[in-house]
Structure 1
Amino acid sequence: MRPRPGHRATCGDRSTPNGGRAGLERPAAQLAPVTSEAYPAWSEPFRTEQRDGLARKGPFRDDAESADWLSASGEGVTVVIIDSGVDGDHPAVGGRLVRSLRVEISEGDGEVVEDEGGDDVVGHGTACAGIIHGLAPDAELISIRVLDPNNKGKGLAFAHAIDWAVEHKIPVANMSLSSRSEQLYATFHDLVDQAYFADCLLVCSASNYLGDASYPSVFSSVVSVAAHDIPDPLTFFYNPRPPVEFGAWGVDVPVAWLGGSNIIATGNSFAAPHIAGLLARLRSAYPDATPFEAKTLLARAANRGR
């Protein structure tokens, strides 16, 4: 896998007590028209039998029980946090960080390697990890560091981290960062489609800049998230109009930070891990659910809160 080098991604959040509100309303990305002839991608009849597990458990059995997964703890699920690193000793992480990795870039290519120090160079990744742990306390966490101390990173590193998550069959990955580079469009589109068909749920925050498309959050293969200002981690909403699908708490959120500290932060970055934590619960209850099924169950449970 060789994503295109030379472009940078940033999380762009305002980690301050009084940030502005991040909204769900954004214009759809403009796509080039298809000029070639279209042919069926597959001509065999659809198979109607359900896979083992879903046929017996029946997550779509009725509305009254469709949100029973909300009581799960994330047990048996691993969540990858693609970010600035995670402080595994922070109390908010609960000792659930099991591995720290980083992406090394050299001569136009990248490699995911062990990060022996396991440091968070910004605080951003620890904030996301603390939110996920709060919602899915029994989930295991893996950190892949792609950001530098200036809260920026190359798009190539971001792409290699996604590729690693897909290759290692990670159930849920949180990506509270994005790129606005059109040159990364094809690279990210291909990677997130690979993740979708590998049953890897990629949770991606939308850009904090209203009106700007950010990648890979605009793609339908990911679970895209923006912030609302209701101070409840279990209040989340479904937005039927693209490009952002779900809204979660992301305004004035108490989060873990460097040195064992805590701050109040605002941004779509802090909404995304709320959804990632909820999906860890869902995957704990229904480990064989496809991304389509998981999104459907999440949408059906939206607006219910507790």
Structure 2
Amino acid sequence: MMQYKNHIWRPILLVIALLFLLDMLVPKPYEPSIIQTHHKENEWIIKWKKNDYPKEILNDAMLLNWVPELRVTKLRLKENVNLSEWLKKWENNPDIEYIHPNSIIRISQVPNDLFFSKQTYLKKIHITKAWDQVNSTSDITIAILDTGIDLEHPDLKANVVDGINLLDRNAKPQDDNGHGTNVAGIVAAVGNNSMGIAGITWKAKLMPVKVLDKKGEGDSFLVGQGIRYAVDHGAKIILLSLGEPVYTPFMKEAVDYAQSKNVLIVAASGNEGDQLNYPAAFSNVLSVGAVNQNDQHARYSNYGQQLDVVAPGDNIYTTELGGGYTTNSGTSMAAPQVAGLAALLYQKYPNLTPKEVENIIKFSADDVDQVGWDEKTGFGKINAERAINFPLEKLKDGFEPNDTKVTAAVFPYNDSLHGELTLNQDRDWYKIELPYKGVVEFQLSLEQTLTTPIQLTVFPNEMNKDFVYKMKDSTKISLNLPQGISYIQLEYSDPNQKGMSRVEYSLANRYRINQDRFENNDNLWEASPIPNLNQIVKGTFHKEHDWDWYQIEVNQSGELTVNVSVDTNRLDPVIWFQAKGKKKLEIDEKGSGEKEEKTISVTPGIYYIRLADYNGYEVIGEYLLYFQFTTSDGDTHEPNDLPKEASPLAGSYVITKGIIFDEKDQDWFQIDLHQTAMIEVKGTNGQNQKLKVVLYNQQLDAIWENSGTTINQISRLTKGSYYIRVEAPNPLTSYQLIFIQHIDSGNVNRTSYQ
């Protein structure tokens, strides 16, 4: 299992999708043994494979909660317990299914200085005409997992039913922050009561499930427990205006439990202007982003392939803690509108499944940006009138028209859909966009075995080959697909007309990023050598608990800076740096999505670097590992004594400095030209000592050689790679090399080199 930090757990921030943008966390300074963290308590969640937990674990930890039906414990380590040793003891225990830190949930509070007309959003989502058919949902229970609800608010209390305070089970789920009351008013403030405002549904059963305290803080254990409580106590809809960027198995299990009980979960996408937070990013959650007052994507609203719909998010007038009213903004003000609309649909059509309710809301939405689905606004802005009047027969194939490649419907990765094919008359096209090359497993599900097969064809992006499969019953296939958009076509045809006239199907996909080219390097003894410190290493964590080990060799004393950057906030990189035979140094000063960097004094020898995701999860994303080495004399390019170690000269104008240590030392540089260009190389030496500079082609044939105290050479070079070698007859000769690249105008009469 994943080995976690050797310091107190720094919690993942679960961002409440509130009215404004997320406050940026200030990273704490690095200390050799302890890294300052934003922790609340050193708590851990453990799921056991057996129906009990070993009492031995209580020698070092206090039991905070034991849920026997889930086989889950929540523990807090006792004082003076060494976290690394404790994890080393328990992480590989065969009786443990998973172990991970208990995340903190925190509200993001920012002053709101905007105020507009009250409840203008109701007109924008066309709710008034929907109310002509249904405006109350007396039999529908909507659980709000939040800071609680103001139980005595005059515009809410008639709709509030019993709930629970999971922070203090002996107390009522009374709001002491205000966020939960804001959310509740949008969903179901009492309507037609001659006071205040009207919710999307005028009458409903609002179940307050308090999982956040007065500071807006809780943890993932409470949220997971809150979902299960709501399901077990009759909720039809669960609303989550909270989220975190990092996947956690405990949250996923709770969401899957709700799905198994036919409970719809609605979640806000988040307010960071980045990837969707979880749980909104789960495919079995109805995810909601926000549009601004101009019906455009709100710049703070998170987005991505799992985004379903949007709703107005700016200046939403709603109920306020203490009995009054206020105006708030954010995706957590948008999500309650969708939850309320879902309740109206359940009231009109009691036998709908959660997936059918979700599809009605998606298929009836108004396009915001482009026609159809897009990653910023999903299927569009909700339209309550169209949703209430949506023809149920269209649920069998709501993606029509998608009969051609041009009209192909978007099929997000790690998602599922439902469609219908008509014999000899229909083709269904879908497109799936992969951010990286990877393996996609498609599963076609049919309710019965067919006499005439369905033909499924996959057209990979930028490949001349397509893959054709004929299926008479439920089938699973797996393909390695490239980055970009690939197309899927489904066809049901039989010239003999012997097949069923119509066939319904479900299609799901599971996407996993490919392993990087350095695998297998999960152990120190399998470490991949990096022969050139100027090399940039690109890697992935393609599986759970993936450790990537690398080996470097340093030939001189100096300062080595280790850098790891990532392209997704799903990934929280942790670096181990270890001299051969020495104790490791752990580098983890920043949070998810942030660059880790550390400068270390090194002497000649072998060093090992281990990279991992802090949480140990499979991540759809990439990291870049790169180094900067400065010798004790200040040369930042060493080692670059050979062509394979050449330092890149990237850019149209580069000034670089170096030192020739002795007559055996050579400094190599590499130039990559993407088109024919005039290049100018200048070499200077402030000590009035001679330099020797040689230009080579990719085959290391010398193009020109120049010696002197000053070098100035212009050449016309065609597209390709070239090398520059610098040497000097005298030891400790410092130099400055200037490389200038001019786009070739063809007017300069110079020798052309290939």
TM-score, length-scaled by structure 2: 0.30
Q: Tell whether 2:171 aligns with 1:115.
A: yes
Q: Distance between the aligned counterparts of 1:300 and 1:251, measured in 2?
A: 24
Q: Tell whether 2:346 aligns with 1:283.
A: yes
Shift of residue 278, structure 1, vs aligned partner: 0.5
The amino acid of 1:157's aligned partner reads: L
Which residues of 2 match residues 3-152 of structure 1 at below 5 A? 6-12=102-108, 14=110, 16-18=112-114, 71-93=134-156, 95-104=158-167, 113=169, 115-116=171-172, 118-133=173-188, 134-152=199-217
With over 3 angstroms needed to count, the CA separation of the structure-2 counterparts of 1:269 and 1:14, relative to structure 1, is: farther
Task: State the match for 2:334 in structure 1.
Answer: 271
The amino acid of 1:262's aligned partner reads: Y
Q: Distance between the aligned counterparts of 1:188 and 1:168, measured in 2?
A: 19
Which residues of 2 match residues 175-194 of structure 1 at below 5 A? 175-182=240-247, 184=248, 186-194=249-257
Shift of residue 69, structure 1, vs aligned partner: 9.8
Larger strand share, 1 or 2:
2
- Runs of 5+ unmatched residues, structure 1: 20-66, 106-112, 233-239
Residue deviations 1:183-237, cap 9 Å, x none?
x2x22222212211211011111111122441111001111111112499xxxxx
Q: Does structure 1 conserve the Cα–Cα contact (< 8 Å) formed by 2:268 and 2:334?
A: yes
Residue deviations 1:11-70, cap 9 Å, x none?
436461339xxxxxxxxxxxxxxxxxxxxxxxxxxxxxxxxxxxxxxxxxxxxxxx8996
Shift of residue 305, structure 1, vs aligned partner: 5.0
Q: Tell whether 2:214 aligns with 1:159.
A: no
Equivalenced residue count is: 242
Q: Does structure 1 conserve the Cα–Cα contact (< 8 Å) formed by 2:160 and 2:207?
A: yes
Which residues of 2 match residues 205-244 of structure 1 at below 5 A? 205-230=268-293, 242-244=305-307
Shift of residue 88, structure 1, vs aligned partner: 2.2
Q: Secondary structure at the match of 1:98?
A: coil
With over 3 angstroms needed to count, the CA separation of the structure-2 counterparts of 1:229 and 1:151, relative to structure 1, is: same
The amino acid of 1:249's aligned partner reads: P
Q: Distance between the aligned counterparts of 1:11 and 1:206, measured in 2?
A: 14
The amino acid of 1:203's aligned partner reads: V
The amino acid of 1:127's aligned partner reads: N
Task: State the match for 1:35 in structure 2.
Answer: none
Q: Distance between the aligned counterparts of 2:175 and 2:319, measured in 1?
A: 11
Shift of residue 87, structure 1, vs aligned partner: 0.7
With over 3 angstroms needed to count, the CA separation of the structure-2 counterparts of 1:15 and 1:120, relative to structure 1, is: farther
Q: Does structure 1 conserve the Cα–Cα contact (< 8 Å) formed by 2:288 and 2:310?
A: yes
Q: Secondary structure at the match of 1:288?
A: coil
The amino acid of 2:179's aligned partner reads: H
Q: Secondary structure at the match of 2:288?
A: strand
Shift of residue 302, structure 1, vs aligned partner: 1.9
Q: Distance between the aligned counterparts of 1:154 and 1:70, measured in 2?
A: 40
Shift of residue 71, structure 1, vs aligned partner: 2.7
Q: Does structure 2 conserve the Cα–Cα contact (< 8 Å) formed by 1:253 and 1:264?
A: yes
Residue deviations 1:249-289, cap 9 Å, x none?
21111121121122211111111111111111111112221
Shift of residue 167, structure 1, vs aligned partner: 2.2
Q: Secondary structure at the match of 2:158?
A: coil
Task: State the match for 2:260 in structure 1.
Answer: 197
Q: Distance between the aligned counterparts of 1:10 and 1:223, measured in 2?
A: 22
Shift of residue 139, structure 1, vs aligned partner: 1.0
With over 3 angstroms needed to count, the CA separation of the structure-2 counterparts of 1:203 and 1:11, relative to structure 1, is: farther
Task: State the match for 2:426 in structure 1.
Answer: none
Q: Secondary structure at the match of 1:92?
A: coil
Q: Secondary structure at the match of 1:137?
A: coil
The amino acid of 2:174's aligned partner reads: D
Q: Does structure 2 conserve the Cα–Cα contact (< 8 Å) formed by 1:136 and 1:278?
A: yes
Identity %: 28
**Residue range with higher mean Cα deviation, 141-150 or 88-97:** 88-97
Q: Distance between the aligned counterparts of 1:241 and 1:143, measured in 2?
A: 30
Q: Distance between the aligned counterparts of 2:281 and 2:362, measured in 1?
A: 18
Q: Distance between the aligned counterparts of 1:231 and 1:163, measured in 2?
A: 38
The amino acid of 1:151's aligned partner reads: G
Task: State the match for 2:641 in structure 1.
Answer: none
With over 3 angstroms needed to count, the CA separation of the structure-2 counterparts of 1:70 and 1:125, relative to structure 1, is: farther
Q: Distance between the aligned counterparts of 2:242 and 2:273, measured in 1?
A: 15
Q: Distance between the aligned counterparts of 1:288 and 1:9, measured in 2?
A: 35
The RMSD of aligned alpha carbons is 2.6
**Residue range with higher mean Cα deviation, 292-301 or 196-205:** 292-301
The amino acid of 1:258's aligned partner reads: L
Q: Secondary structure at the match of 1:211?
A: coil
Q: Distance between the aligned counterparts of 1:72 and 1:281, measured in 2?
A: 7
Task: State the match for 2:236 in structure 1.
Answer: 171
TM-score, length-scaled by structure 1: 0.72
Larger radius of gyration, structure 1 or 2?
2
Q: Distance between the aligned counterparts of 1:175 and 1:216, measured in 2?
A: 8
Larger helix share, 1 or 2:
1
The amino acid of 1:132's aligned partner reads: V
Q: Does structure 1 conserve the Cα–Cα contact (< 8 Å) formed by 2:251 and 2:279?
A: yes
Q: Secondary structure at the match of 1:160?
A: helix
Shift of residue 181, structure 1, vs aligned partner: 3.6
Residue deviations 1:141-187, cap 9 Å, x none?
110101111112111111100111222341111111112344x2x22
With over 3 angstroms needed to count, the CA separation of the structure-2 counterparts of 1:97 and 1:245, relative to structure 1, is: same
Q: Distance between the aligned counterparts of 2:177 and 2:110, measured in 1?
A: 13
With over 3 angstroms needed to count, the CA separation of the structure-2 counterparts of 1:257 and 1:72, relative to structure 1, is: closer
Q: Distance between the aligned counterparts of 1:69 and 1:297, measured in 2?
A: 18
With over 3 angstroms needed to count, the CA separation of the structure-2 counterparts of 1:13 and 1:218, relative to structure 1, is: farther
Shift of residue 92, structure 1, vs aligned partner: 3.0
Q: Tell whether 2:361 aligns with 1:298.
A: yes
Moved over 6 A (4+): 67-70
The amino acid of 1:115's aligned partner reads: A
The amino acid of 1:145's aligned partner reads: K
